[in-house]
Structure 1
Amino acid sequence: MTNSTCLLQPSLATSVALPVIYSLLFPAGSFGNILTAWIFSKQAPTKRTQYIYLGNLVTANVLVCSTMPFLAAYFARGYQWSYESIECKIANHLGTLIMHVSMYATIIILCSTAISQYATLKKTSDTQYSQAVNENFYRCVLEKFRQPKFAKYLCIIIWFTVLCITVIAIIYNAKARTAKDSYRCYNIIVEAGEFTARIASCVATACFFISFMTVLLSYYCLNKHLSKIQKTTCIGEKHLIYNTVKRNILVIQMILTVCFLPYHIFRPIFYVLLINNDCPSRYLVEIKNFLTCLAAAKSSLDPIIILLLDKTFKKSLYGLFTKSTPEHHERKADIFTEETSKI
């Protein structure tokens, strides 16, 4: 059982560096994601599956960015707040909790986007080289991810789950706090969580690795599929589309690897170290917090990634600063190509 009176003395890395980082990420991420959301709502083809996923991804990013001021305040002054203070409750509920559930919504949406990309490419390629089993799998599972109706329902389920988890966690924390005697907000209970919080973290970690391996498998299957069709036919003008989709899935894989993987590798290690040490070194806690910050930073970088990858977004952003759009842009599809969206 974690010692509720365990004192954590934050270093300058926690009380200065983290607040500064979150304070810088907040305006940049908020502006970029709000601008992206506005462009999508005004000019993006809303019936395309990829924009349903991207729109919900931007929503999750906005939620993560909105928690950054609370996280900055928590790390800057949390060691001075009372555990029962309103500031501590707000920082935990509107900061840490919402940031984490939104982060996992982001991970699931990224995974769904990668599957949608693979399904779209497989649909546009020549299916005569696929085996019957693969075709059945495609019709039963993969094809769903490229359907706008399925994408909408999936995103609704994701956000409904996020809402339920948030409400349940807030109610549970509100009831559990009355039995605690810690006098500072920045303590091991908040940083490590109690037994139920750790179980939830383990489930979330498992969810991440399932998503991570799914995207990795999609990239592997894509490479295998392209190698097979290149040996038997000349893909010609579709070569650019295939390379673009391949790049998109690779980018998603890199985001999961760079931003989320270190945190999810370290967190189980952190919990294991707590089993025999109820009052761990502050450096373990700070490593966890910096890896969490790395995961949150992804939400601020997404608008830049979308700008670099999505040609329709580039065209729309370009149109904001010019009177007319070049004619050749009108004939180009965005990189999340869905040539068979009407099928």
Structure 2
Amino acid sequence: MRNSTCLQPSLATTVVLPVIYSFLFPAGSFGNILTAWVFLRQALTKRTQYIYLANLVAANLFICSTMPFLAAYFARGYQWAYDSVACRIANHLGTLIMHISMYVTIIILCSTALSQYATLKKNSDAQCSHAAKENFYRCVLQKFRQPKFAKYLCIFIWFTVFCITVTAITYNIQEKAEKEFPSCYNMKVEAGEFVTMIAASFATASFFVSFTTVLLSYYSLTRHLDKIKKNTCIEEKHLIYSTVKRNILVIQMILTICFLPYHIFRPVFYVLIKNDECPRLNYLVEIKNFLTCLAAAKSSLDPVIILLLDKTFKKSLYGLFTKSTPEQHKRKDDIFNEETPEM
């Protein structure tokens, strides 16, 4: 596994991956910068939902910032010396930022889904007191709707993920290699050492906890809506219910399409790389890198998803490029102060 001459990148790695990252970088950077600009101009972060969204945008921008380094690494990494500055920047710094931002995104998406679900429970409990759950369960859910709690939760998520990732990568940097690696593109970089694998296992477990939480939220939400509809405690005019259900479904789809393949394959990758067959190692590494690219692509798609799903954001973006009357300003303020969970 540690044979540095074993890995020989194919055209899929040296051409296709750099092209994909080169395309994702400007698209994702422009979309997320524009989204951040709208948030700052319209002060949307005063709402709990937009505290989560603002942190997602920040994580997206961090991921986008690593894309030029990743494109350069896959295009020329096999020609770089292992101890070169370019190799250290592209892998150590780029990997650090990429993984921190990726898992911050996953956990905040889970928190956003719980926030959406808590909003529905709050409104339905107010209308159907007989459908209320236990007080403790309801109070925990409502925490995700409180701006102060959301801010501290996001800070805690960033800090925890940062500490775990830095510890694993720092250990990997300081780990003594058994022999010199002639190129940057090698198994030590692609697979990491023992501590890196432990951190990866913990991260994979965290993903599946988040994934299962969102899935159970959607299932519970569907059952809850069916129940209150039977009790005629919900009217057709209450579009908030369908909006919440749609938003949680979108989060579930993002986790499933962008992140699930990578996290299913990662344990398989660490088991199979123990075999020293070079052709197999090359295939495994390339599959891993393409699945990582799929996960990174999510950062470029987020602005489009927010634009399509969030009516408030769409109105705010349109308002920045048009002249507003005093009446429109008043309506805008009313929109920002409302509690409907337009994701």
Q: Judge same fold: TM > 0.5, yes or no.
A: yes
The residue type equivalent to 1:215 in the other structure is V
What SS is found at the alignment partner of 1:293?
A: helix
Match of 2:22 in 1: 23
The residue type equivalent to 1:89 in the other structure is R
Aligned residues: 336
Match of 2:282 in 1: 282
For 2:109 and 2:81, the matched residues in 1 are separated by 38
In structure 1, runs of 5+ residues without a counterpart are: none
Deviation at 1:128, TM superposition (A): 1.4
Match of 1:129 in 2: 130
Match of 1:308 in 2: 308
Q: Is the 1:120–1:337 contact (alpha carbons within 8 Å) kept by the matching residues of 2?
A: no
For 2:178 and 2:92, the matched residues in 1 are separated by 18
The residue type equivalent to 1:115 in the other structure is L
For 2:188 and 2:205, the matched residues in 1 are separated by 22
**CA distance 1:29–1:180, shift in 2 (3 Å):** farther
- Which stretch has the larger CA shift, 110-119 or 235-244? 235-244
The residue type equivalent to 1:292 in the other structure is T
For 2:41 and 2:64, the matched residues in 1 are separated by 22
Deviation at 1:187, TM superposition (A): 0.8
The residue type equivalent to 2:94 in the other structure is G
For 2:155 and 2:333, the matched residues in 1 are separated by 32
The residue type equivalent to 1:268 in the other structure is P
In structure 2, runs of 5+ residues without a counterpart are: none
**CA distance 1:214–1:337, shift in 2 (3 Å):** farther
Percent identity over the alignment is: 71
Q: Is the 1:105–1:162 contact (alpha carbons within 8 Å) kept by the matching residues of 2?
A: yes
For 1:161 and 1:108, the matched residues in 2 are separated by 11
For 2:231 and 2:5, the matched residues in 1 are separated by 66
Deviation at 1:185, TM superposition (A): 0.6
Offset from partner CA, 1:264-309 (integer Å, 9 cap, x none): 1111111111233374431221111111000000000000000001
Aligned ranges for residues 132-281 of structure 1 at < 5 Å? Answer: 132-133=133-134, 135-139=135-139, 141-176=140-175, 180-236=179-235, 238-277=237-276, 279=278, 280-281=280-281
- Which stretch has the larger CA shift, 269-278 or 66-75? 269-278
Normalising by structure 1, we get a TM-score of: 0.92
Offset from partner CA, 1:228-268 (integer Å, 9 cap, x none): 11011242255311001100000000000000001111111
What SS is found at the alignment partner of 2:175?
A: helix
Deviation at 1:175, TM superposition (A): 1.7
What SS is found at the alignment partner of 1:7?
A: coil
Match of 2:294 in 1: 294
Match of 1:98 in 2: 97
Aligned ranges for residues 75-114 of structure 1 at < 5 Å? Answer: 75-114=74-113
For 2:86 and 2:5, the matched residues in 1 are separated by 20
